[in-house]
Structure 1
């Protein structure tokens, strides 16, 4: 059962509304996102590229740009080593395109998820050395590659690391020390002595900041680097980063450009997904475009997605875009099968009693373990690891809940892993099969998660009567976009809404359209896209079969619900009307 709680953050909403010419409801929503003070409010509402931090503030960026300029002057060969996910692919694109423009001799390598695993490895270093590469430039990886980078240095190569992942640490003499690779330069805002004021950038955004510094040193006009911001935006949303501060500006500005993109490959991908005439927002990156880019790295090679972004031919772009769409469809089916198998395993074993779920699916495609883990977390609301057989060991991905730092907890079981890395909310790992059960036991013993921690909370921004909704307010809510992590779509609620009638719609009969009213007498349409059968069963249990049947025959009943909703405008045959979309009910 989910717990509904109302956000109770205080401020003078009337004064904020008057000062910034916004509704008090909008002022409350902004305060609920912890945006306080005039500078932060102004940046949230009106922030532009001009409000982004100077890249020189990031430790190592100036040094890295100077080193790259020196290597270009020496005509040294540079190889970018990226990652196979959306962040790694777009970061590679940003660095490759930027360095090419600066005149560098540069190529790229993206590890194969199955053969190579995550990030740089000794074989990739060996290959680069044999190919006559002088300098390796990583993106979205490298911060944990201590041995691999030491090997590159032993071969006499120059290494520049750009990454955004958390640093590994060791405790010595009662102090915690960061473990850094012995690269020539490390660029990562998480370095303990890095003064960069915003730490939550993704790999693509760090790559963007490096190219921004390089372009400035080459005296290119600002608009040249701004041409790359749409790729940093795709990376930021795709890697599920917080949409606060600088990330919010990157995504907002990137979306403006993405909606008029000149990239032939992106145009083709937008077209095959039926988005050609739509206003693309963060949802479309996260759930339509992004999964297609990720699908190539999951099921074949991420180089397909990068080839699409670099494509100069409309005909070839169309073929690649269709291929990525097809791969994503295949990925969805594999995910469905894996999810169903995971649920069956949990429900039929003692796993269902664990606070931290370790699900072993030996035949699952390792590339979709993280997606399945995310869906299992949504269903059971607890930290989840989904493990499967890799080529040489068991591999897996984890997804967490608020209050459980996955990366920190994994460090306590360091000896059980062959390799691991990640964030508080997500992680990846490899381990020997015999360590699965010890990992399950130790993570659960160490997990101090209470029933409260394991109860999903829906935080209501504003308890608001549906009669308060106006078209103007709905339009004004657009100022809060882009929505995503740490800047979630607003949550409104009203108690005891009367349901006047309901009918089931959709080709798959998976939508309920209702007419609703509150004590003011205002009547409007409401849509529910959740599980129709569960909804109907809930009403039957509460109000009885006869009353529920009358409701779906559009006859008068006494059925009322408390609902969580979001207001929208419905346009049909030139007519505009206000409606709400219900996401939860009690």
Structure 2
């Protein structure tokens, strides 16, 4: 049986007053309060915030120094090399800086590390290659904050270095000419939770503004939005504005590569949402860096009309291959956990020696979802073990690794995700230490599902559904609203979808209101759960449309079904108990 805790948000406010002030339903006012917005100005920005509400980029640490140095290098014709990371944030950062600097007349080029051959971020090979190419200035993006030795080597070789990054600062700052990172201890920037591409965009914004070309910066907003969603940043504060405004530009983008990715993925530009950025386009751009080289992703974004469709199709095919490899790796990891003592560990540390190292983070994320606990997946490389971890809210993954730093050759990351390298002989000790010092109790490992409010079907109206769209874009930190109804009766049930594993249900709640429900998850698991609870025959009765004893508690989101000119409300079931 499933283990979940359902909790209803109980945050208080004068929902009637907020509703009247902002022209929204009191129900929507409650949803906004549940997202911890209480002040009128916060609510205004949440509902109607625009580009004028974004924070001043000059508040970022070392922005003046970075912009001033780059202006000087551009004016004197010095060679600038941009070095990014191999994920979507790094790819978009490279695009923003490269195109932006070129528009400003810079002598600029770019390099991107190979995940397997180079590892993460700036390395000595890339530094010495730049020196051999007579590069004057290195400009990092989405990396560099931990490259202490590499940047020291660049300075030794006579190069200037500007770091733009957003990752956690470790023991010391690198000795670069400028380090633009909102995670610095001396940061004055009001919203430090931006991604690397937003830091890059802020830098380009300053450079354009100094030339009187402020409007040009808006041409790069869509790439900052794409990276924000793809790097799973919280869609709060200015991130929400960047993504909302960026989506407007993406729906009519002039970039041939993005248009080709939408086309080969079957996305109608006018229907583009944050979901497509995070789960369709983003994975295609990430696939290059995972299985081949991230150069392919940058090249798609830089492509012209003729080559863009070919390059986009290649990335999409690579992503399909990545999906197959991920599934095989996940099955292997689950087999190891289920057949060993790992099943009792609050922190999962799984060794898959033959797994492609680029898939470790994805598989760790799937294990976290399956077992509701932090998970690390490690694989064997020529330099030792490398891996990635994905966490749960109760466990700060970066701090967990920091407590074991003497066992690691390299590590970095965030509270919810991290990367690490270590010698193979330290694996068992790492697993032991991570579990001994995790501080997790049994309650921490039972996932909590937060319900915005109980909402009888009678109140799930078309007007409410339309108003809920004011809360978009949805994503990390601004999840789609979750309503709940208990004691829901199943009148009929049928299988739908290509594999016949999704469900369509006719449902009635306690008030007698009837709605159509859709469940797009694992229909077999849904039926097995209620078969165990009420008996398999009762499930069969529901499929026949006969009276049955099935009574559900569902978490749902209302939607509008438009078919042959008719509009009717339906609910999409997100969870069930």
Query: Structure 2-normalised TM-score?
Result: 0.99
Q: CA deviation at 1:547?
A: 2.0
User: Which of 183, 194, 197 pairs up with 2:190?
Assistant: 197
User: Which of 129, 132, 156 pairs up with 1:130?
Assistant: 132
SS at match of 2:299: helix
Structure 1's unaligned 5+ residue stretches are 170-178
SS at match of 2:445: coil
Name the CA distance, whole Å, in 2 between partners of 1:350 and 1:364: 21
User: Which of 190, 208, 212 pairs up with 2:205?
Assistant: 212
User: Which of 521, 530, 534 pairs up with 2:512?
Assistant: 521
Alignment partner, residue 37 of structure 1: 39
SS at match of 2:253: coil
SS at match of 1:558: coil
User: Which of 84, 107, 110 pairs up with 2:109?
Assistant: 107
> Aligned runs of 1:40-55 on 2, under 5 Å?
40-55=42-57
Alignment partner, residue 301 of structure 1: 293
Alignment partner, residue 122 of structure 2: 120
Name the CA distance, whole Å, in 1 between partners of 2:464 and 2:21: 17
Name the CA distance, whole Å, in 2 between partners of 1:511 and 1:362: 35
Name the CA distance, whole Å, in 2 between partners of 1:349 and 1:271: 45
Name the CA distance, whole Å, in 2 between partners of 1:548 and 1:456: 27
User: Which of 240, 252, 256 pairs up with 2:248?
Assistant: 256
- Label 1:277 to 1:79 Cα distance change in 2 as closer, same or farther (>3 A): closer
SS at match of 2:545: coil
Question: Is residue 2:330 matched to residue 1:372?
Answer: no
Alignment partner, residue 381 of structure 1: 372
Name the CA distance, whole Å, in 2 between partners of 1:119 and 1:569: 45
RMSD of aligned residue pairs (Cα, Å): 0.9
SS at match of 2:442: coil
Alignment partner, residue 14 of structure 1: 16
Alignment partner, residue 173 of structure 1: none
Alignment partner, residue 284 of structure 1: 276
> 8 Å contact 2:262–2:269 — kept in the other structure?
no
Alignment partner, residue 549 of structure 1: 540
Name the CA distance, whole Å, in 2 between partners of 1:162 and 1:62: 13
Name the CA distance, whole Å, in 1 between partners of 2:136 and 2:529: 65
Q: CA deviation at 1:277?
A: 5.2
Q: Deviations over 1:501-530 (max 9, x none)?
A: 101112201111110111322211101112
Alignment partner, residue 82 of structure 2: 80
Alignment partner, residue 243 of structure 1: 235
Q: CA deviation at 1:62?
A: 1.6
**Number of equivalences:** 575
Name the CA distance, whole Å, in 2 between partners of 1:390 and 1:118: 14
Question: Is residue 2:470 matched to residue 1:470?
Answer: no
Name the CA distance, whole Å, in 1 between partners of 2:375 and 2:411: 15
Q: CA deviation at 1:279?
A: 1.1
Q: CA deviation at 1:397?
A: 0.3
Deviates more, 1:386-395 or 1:88-97: 386-395
Q: Deviations over 1:450-504 (max 9, x none)?
A: 1111110000001110110111111111110111111111111011011101011
Alignment partner, residue 266 of structure 2: 274
> 8 Å contact 2:559–2:569 — kept in the other structure?
yes
> 8 Å contact 1:114–1:391 — kept in the other structure?
no
Name the CA distance, whole Å, in 1 between partners of 2:522 and 2:429: 37
Q: Deviations over 1:316-363 (max 9, x none)?
A: 111101000000000000000000000000000111110111000000
> Aligned runs of 1:59-98 on 2, under 5 Å?
59-98=61-100
Name the CA distance, whole Å, in 1 between partners of 2:535 and 2:341: 35
- Label 1:97 to 1:277 Cα distance change in 2 as closer, same or farther (>3 A): closer
Question: Is residue 2:232 matched to residue 1:230?
Answer: no
Name the CA distance, whole Å, in 1 between partners of 2:26 and 2:475: 22
Deviates more, 1:349-358 or 1:532-541: 532-541
SS at match of 2:306: helix
Q: CA deviation at 1:278?
A: 4.8
Name the CA distance, whole Å, in 2 between partners of 1:520 and 1:445: 50
Name the CA distance, whole Å, in 2 between partners of 1:428 and 1:548: 45
Alignment partner, residue 560 of structure 2: 569
Name the CA distance, whole Å, in 2 between partners of 1:547 and 1:392: 57
Name the CA distance, whole Å, in 2 between partners of 1:499 and 1:335: 36
- Label 1:367 to 1:10 Cα distance change in 2 as closer, same or farther (>3 A): same
Name the CA distance, whole Å, in 2 between partners of 1:560 and 1:412: 47
> 8 Å contact 2:82–2:111 — kept in the other structure?
yes
> 8 Å contact 2:264–2:313 — kept in the other structure?
yes
Question: Is residue 2:134 matched to residue 1:142?
Answer: no
